[in-house]
Amino acid sequence: MAIVLECRDLSFSYRQVPVLDHISFKVHAGRFCAILGRNGSGKTTLLHCLNKIIPLDSGKVLIFGKNITDLNQNQIARQISLVPQEHLDIFPYRVIDVVVMGRAPFLRLSQRPGPADYKIAHDALNFLNAGSLALKNFNQISGGERQMCLLARAVTQTKHLMLLDEPTNHLDFNNQYHLLSAIKSLCRSKGISIVATLHDPNMAALFADDLIMVKDNTLMEQGPARQVMTQKNISALYEIPLGTVKINEQKKLFFPESVLKGPPEPMDPNQRTKEETKGGS
Amino acid sequence: MRSAKGKLLILSLVLLILFLVSVSMGRVFIRGTDLLTLVINFFSNNETAKDLLSRELVFWWIRVPRCCMAILVGSGLAVSGAVYQALFRNPLVSPDILGVSAGCTFGAALGLVLPFDSFYLVHILSFGFGLVAVSMSMALARVIALKSVMILVLAGMVILSFFNALLMILKYFSDPYEQLPSIIFWVMGSLSKVTWENVLVMAPFTLAGILLFVALGFRLNILSLGDIQATSLGMTPSFFRRLLILASSFMVAISVATCGQIAWIGLIIPHMARAIAGPEHERMIPMTALLGAIFLLTADTLARTISTAEIPVGIITALTGAPIFGYLMVKNRGSGWL
């Protein structure tokens, strides 16, 4: 399997505090690779290092064997797109005008997108079944629709590698599955490689092919989901005792032990009133 | 809905008609037929009839340069405002935010207070201090070097207050009968002293600036998404931010150095343009330039015809700009932008 991205011994520190410490992994073509880790473990920083939004302190990132420090930002953008986490309100652009921005790395500096570029953008929206959004105001669509629009922009931008920063953040139950299924289908039908940071290990268990587990700024574990999605690893990663729920022969979901044991018995209402009166007196 | 090109064409026609009306209006009224004769005489080198001579002087040496200047300053200030708003991703930003105007005003006041009685010195000091103020804001932001855009705004506020304080010192120590009124008149802005020379200095820079911004229109859309997204789309935001801030500050500085502070254009005209042409910068920048020219030309015509004594044009722009801005805010509410 072709290697799309390789990360060798990557380190980054912010004001002498190490954020990422000697991280190495590979991303193969057409695979969905999820980065898991607790808040503040350096997931987003790692993602931003991969397309030079943040410069590395040491180590290398290779895209198709080429060191990204030897490429300019435009050359990187042709290979690697990003679906960002932040959703600040911008000017009231139409969705299609946001999607067509994905063509920017392929245009000359003073060139504006032409009909061919708009066609690519429309195709990307249609591929994600979001063609009806095209003429809507980006600021007035729902969070799920915005993520779809940004995903379409990433599809417009590159056929090789997509980085997604917490793509399911702020999405409702339906939209989380809808979005991850769409991402997975991009992997399968277009052969696009995905690197996504995810909050929920169960989402990773359901959708990811490979995993990168980041703990205390270092790589804790990596490999295909079948090998590394174990109770022991997830429990160590999130520092909480876990139980599992088996959904089929290959896949199981993880929940904190305390939740699986069942919720604590509700307090006897009489008891509580007594205690409250005691406290009040 | 009419196409963007159609709208631009209509507004260009409006500007042309307005120009013709504006050059004929004023204390000396020039009739349409006389206007035509004057233009024909100019191009065919005919001798002008004696009774038209005074009108010829007013027309070629006062009205035409003044109207050209109104168009240049109006479009330059408006376009700079649009670029600033895109770079700072904020609708309330005008080109004053990094201290250009404050620096320019201080420079002009310094020129007026200094003993050398040179009008050139006033222009040069004004222009120089405008650019110094912006450079100081950018340097300060660079030293702090955290979240870039927010810090840049704060650094701008620091520098702006600093130059306003310096201006107050100058006002306090200036001669209240001669110097203070001229400083105050400068702050209010006026096009009354415009010469052909000013127009010829100003025109190349303004036109080059507008061309640069029109060419980079699509890139402004991308920059307005913020640094992370702009970088992931293949741009280097810090470089473009510096380039565009310097270019637009240059345009503002040269305007303020020639005509004083003319308020509100940089703030409201981009909003009007967005309401007409949509928010995409490749479409709204040319619209902004045209609307800015129309707005200032109208305001200046009013300033010199509304009463026998001329009113500073800055007062007219502020007086009309504020309610227009209020109206636009009401109209655009709920677009997720205001």
Q: Is the dihedral of CA B66, B72, B75, B76 positive or negative?
A: negative
CA dist., res. B206 & res. A92, Å (int): 28
Residues of B in contact with A73 (CB under 8 A): 231, 234-236
Residues 6 or more apart whose Cβ sits within 8 Å of residue B293: B15, B70, B71, B72, B74, B75, B78
C-alpha B153: how far from its chain's center?
20
- Measured between alpha carbons, how far is A183 from A262 in angstroms, rounded to an integer? 34
A222: its two tokens: 């990596």
CATH code assigned at B251: 1.10.3470.10
Say if residue A274 is in the same domain as residue A168.
Answer: no
Using an 8 Å CB-CB cutoff, list chain B residues near A80.
Answer: 232
Residue A251 has what pLDDT?
A: 82
Residue B48 is given by DSSP the state P
Is residue A68 domain-shared with residue A128, that is, in the same domain? yes
Q: Best mutation site among A54, A72, A78, A91 for testing chain B: the one with the most B CBs within 10 Å?
A: A91
**A187, A213: one domain:** yes
Checking if the pLDDT of A99 tops 90, the result is yes
The answer to whether the CB of A22 falls within 8 A of the CB of A59 is yes
For the question of whether the overall pTM of this predicted structure is more than 0.90, the answer is no
Quote the pLDDT of residue A274: 52
B196 touches chain A (CB under 8 A): no
Residue A244 and residue A220 share a domain: no
| Contacts with B231 from chain A: Cβ below 8 Å | 51-53, 73
Confidence class for position A270, pLDDT limits 50, 70, 90: low
> Is A133 domain-assigned?
yes
CB A153, CB A102: distance < 8 Å: yes
How many whole angstroms separate alpha carbon B24 and alpha carbon B30?
5
3-state SS assignment for residue A63: strand
* CB-nearest partner of B236 from A73, A102, A163: A73
Question: Would you say residue A19 lies in a domain?
Answer: yes
**Position B337 in a domain:** no
Q: A interface mutation test: which of B87, B233, B329, B338 has the most A CBs within 10 A?
A: B233
**Segments forming the whole domain that contains residue B303:** 4-331
Shared domain check, A106 and A142: yes
Tokens of B126: 């004004």
CA B214/CA B206 separation, integer angstroms: 12
Q: Are residues A45 and A8 in the same domain?
A: yes
User: Which ranges of B117-195 would DSSP assign to H, the alpha helix?
Assistant: 119-144, 148-173, 179-188
Report yes or no: B224 at the A interface, CB cutoff 8 Å.
yes
**Is residue B338 situated within a structural domain?**
no
Query: What type of residue is B125?
Result: L
- The reported pLDDT for the residue numbered B308 is 81
Contact B291, B269 (CB under 8 A): yes
CATH of the domain at A74: 3.40.50.300
A109 and A247 share a domain? no
How many domains is chain A partitioned into structurally? 2
By percentage, how much of chain A surpasses pLDDT 90?
Answer: 53
A-B contacts at Cβ under 8 angstroms: 89
Number of domains in chain B: 1
Whether residues A29 and A98 share a domain: the answer is yes
What is the domain extent for residue A260? 240-281
Measured distance CA(A185)–CA(B247) in Å, rounded: 46
Neighbours of A58 (CB within 10 A): 11
Interface contact A84-B221, CB threshold 8 A: no
Q: Are residues A57 and A196 in the same domain?
A: yes
pLDDT of A264 over the 70 cut: no
Q: CB distance B236–A80 less than 8 Å?
A: no
Cα A28 to Cα A214: distance, rounded to the nearest angstrom: 19
Quick check: B335 and A92 CB within 8 A?
yes
Chain B residues in contact with A105 (beta carbon < 8 A): 233-234
pLDDT band, very low/low/confident/very high, at A280 (cuts 50, 70, 90): very low
Q: Across the 338 residues of chain B, what is the mean pLDDT of every consecutive 10-residue run?
A: 80 94 85 82 77 83 93 95 89 83 90 79 89 90 75 89 93 88 84 89 94 95 91 92 90 89 88 89 94 95 87 88 85 64
User: Which pLDDT value is given to residue A223?
Assistant: 92
User: Would you state the pLDDT for residue B13?
Assistant: 95
Q: Compute the nearest-CA separation of A108 from chain B (Å).
A: 10
Q: A268 and A132 in one domain? A: no
> Which of B89, B219, B233 minimises the CB distance to A77?
B233
Residue B284 lies in a domain: yes
Predicted pLDDT of residue A281: 42
Residue A27 has pLDDT above 90, yes or no: yes
Number of C-beta neighbours around residue A94 at 10 A:
17
Please state whether beta strands A161-165 and A80-83 pair in parallel, antiparallel, or not at all (unpaired).
parallel
Instruction: Return the top range by mean pLDDT from A82-96, A255-269, B62-76, B254-268.
Output: B62-76
Asked if residues B147 and B122 have their Cβ atoms less than 8 Å apart, the reply is no
Strand A66-67 to A252-256 pairing? unpaired
Is B244 a domain residue?
Answer: yes
Question: Looking at residues A57-67, what average pLDDT do you find?
Answer: 90
**Which pLDDT band holds residue A226 (cuts at 50, 70, 90)?**
confident
B216 touches chain A (CB under 8 A): yes
pLDDT at A273: 54
Same domain, yes or no: A168 and A249: no
Q: Contact, A17 vs A194, CB < 8 A?
A: no
Residue B199 lies in a domain: yes
Cβ-based contacts of B219 with chain A (< 8 Å):
104, 109
Are A136 and A175 in a shared domain?
A: yes
Choose the closest CB to A77 out of B89, B232, B274: B232
